[in-house]
Structure 1
Amino acid sequence: MQGKVALVTAASQGLGRAIAGRLAEEGMHVALCSRSAERVREAAEEVARRGADRDVRVEAWEADVAVPEQVLALSRQVEQAFGRLDVLVCNAGGPPPGDFFDVEEADWEKAFQQNLMSVVRLVRACTPLMERSGGGTIVTITSTSIKVPLPRLILSNVMRAGVYALVKSLVPELAARNIRIHTVAPGRIDTGRVRSLDQDLARHTGRSVEEVRESFYRQIPLGRYGDPEEFAQVVAFLVSDAARYLTGQAVFVDGGMMRAL
């Protein structure tokens, strides 16, 4: 992985930031983007510190992956800055919680653009550069809801399942270009996003946040929420040469919570 280039979207916090930092520690040059210029610059400084011993280069740009023009501009910026791309991590903030009759048509459209079409556009924009670089790996960040829908997450359930269908559909086309593709599905990873979902579920059910978390602990065989760094290590493995005979996989990082076959 030393000297290769990765683009991680929505990397100013949470899983994206942890992934970017882990890849830098492995010796990869890293490009980050976020809708917040201030937050992504701060994240880039941390990522650079984590990769300082490996002499990595880190670049950060403000970009909203839900906006087609900004996705195209992002791919061009990566090419101009690094001249190659070996790893693409498609990440985006999750849509708001709610049941079917809670969400409006505008919510569906926003989630469609942010969580499904962003992946479509990132793959389309970045594949030519990856192909010219000799190939590489794409990782999409989804959710355990690609297997079993989660309560009060109708928008996420539908869009994440669509991303997984896209991943499986793209395997043969991308393999012909020497590009592997996977999805990594987080369970209850202790991020700001999951903490906000716990708060929403607590309000909706009349329980405390502590009671909500305890109920999840009982469903997780390992008995705890995961750490973002643990999740990032799995992504780092999938984009490494150690996983060069893997493609089209859905990897659940959930402490054993997903019991479905």
Structure 2
Amino acid sequence: MDTGLKGRTAVVPGASTGLGLAVARALAAEGANVVLGGRRGDLVRAEAEKLPSAVGVEVDLTDHGAAAALIGAAEGRFGPVDVLVLNGGGPPPGRAEDFTPEQLTVAIELLVHPHQRLVAATLPGMRERGFGRIVAVGSSGVQQPIDGLVASNAARAALAGYLKTLAAEVAADGVTVNMVLPGRIDTDRVGVLDRANAERSGISVDEARARSEASIPAGRYGTPEEFAAVVTFLASAGAGYVTGEQVRCDGGMVRAH
């Protein structure tokens, strides 16, 4: 399948490790020019050097001017942005009964505002050129809230509502907006959650992981590469009639339709 990504410019924040890095690598393998963003500048620059046409940019997207700076760096190096991946770290675990308005504000500032600013910096050009792909890295918690992750569940659901609304508004302009919902993908972030679950349940981390794997019909955690392949398809030219969707990549973990 020709993805049509050769020569396109893609921006991937949160790309120093985990899902963001896997997505950056997958897009680069399809011939895209890739801009890797991340707070650990040394890591994103080192990873960018391993790719055929890429640059790493040190950026903290919680800073109000960071989104414009990241997109400006991409345009200065490769030209207009065709593919925007919305990705970033999640808030710490917590229970709903302990959740405060202040914590919700922090979660929104982490998971919603930066992505809105990135969209604002790229969407006008995409609409003018008649092509654009916006793909958000979400969470299975958008469709089936995850125990102990109230901040993530709430803020990612807000982002999902914003993106679903946006998708309908820009579809006629050749811009698609989708969300990919990872389940238990084998990343450092999931390792942190496994350790938190183990501590909360008074069991070993290995036992916590085994219990988690047993709840997944596929019987295992997914790989970052499997997740990145889904994102890459949604970023491709062939996915032009897929928009406003929440695509699960979770081995069947979420049982809802």
TM tier, smaller? over 0.9
* 2:173 alignment partner, SS class: coil
Does residue 115 of the first structure (1) align with residue 119 of the second (2)?
no
Contact 2:168 2:244 in 1 (8 A): no
Aligned to 1:159: 155
Does residue 93 of the first structure (1) align with residue 96 of the second (2)?
no
Does residue 18 of the first structure (1) align with residue 18 of the second (2)?
no
* 1:152 alignment partner, SS class: coil
Aligned to 2:54: 58
Q: Which deviates the most, 8-17 or 208-217?
A: 208-217
Equivalenced residues, count: 253
Q: How does 1:172-211 map to 2 (within 5 A)?
A: 172-211=168-207
Contact 1:135 1:178 in 2 (8 A): yes
Q: How does 1:11-90 map to 2 (within 5 A)?
A: 11-46=15-50, 48=51, 52=52, 57-90=53-86
Structure 1 residue 131: Cα displacement: 3.0
Contact 1:97 1:155 in 2 (8 A): yes
Contact 1:84 1:132 in 2 (8 A): no
Cα 1:133–1:80 shift into 2, 3 Å: farther
Where do 4+ consecutive residues of structure 1 move more than 6 Å? none
Structure 1 residue 107: Cα displacement: 3.2
Q: Which deviates the most, 110-119 or 156-165?
A: 110-119
AA matched with 1:150: I
Counterpart CA distance in 2 for 1:120 and 1:168 is: 13
Across the aligned residues of Structure 1 and Structure 2, the Cα RMSD in angstroms comes to 1.3
Unaligned runs of 5+ in 1: none
AA matched with 1:212: A
Counterpart CA distance in 2 for 1:64 and 1:203 is: 30
Q: Which residue of 139, 143, 157 corresponds with 1:143?
A: 139
Contact 2:45 2:56 in 1 (8 A): yes
Does residue 4 of the first structure (1) align with residue 8 of the second (2)?
yes
Unaligned runs of 5+ in 2: none
TM superposition score normalised by structure 1:
0.93
Contact 2:14 2:36 in 1 (8 A): yes
Counterpart CA distance in 2 for 1:98 and 1:38 is: 31
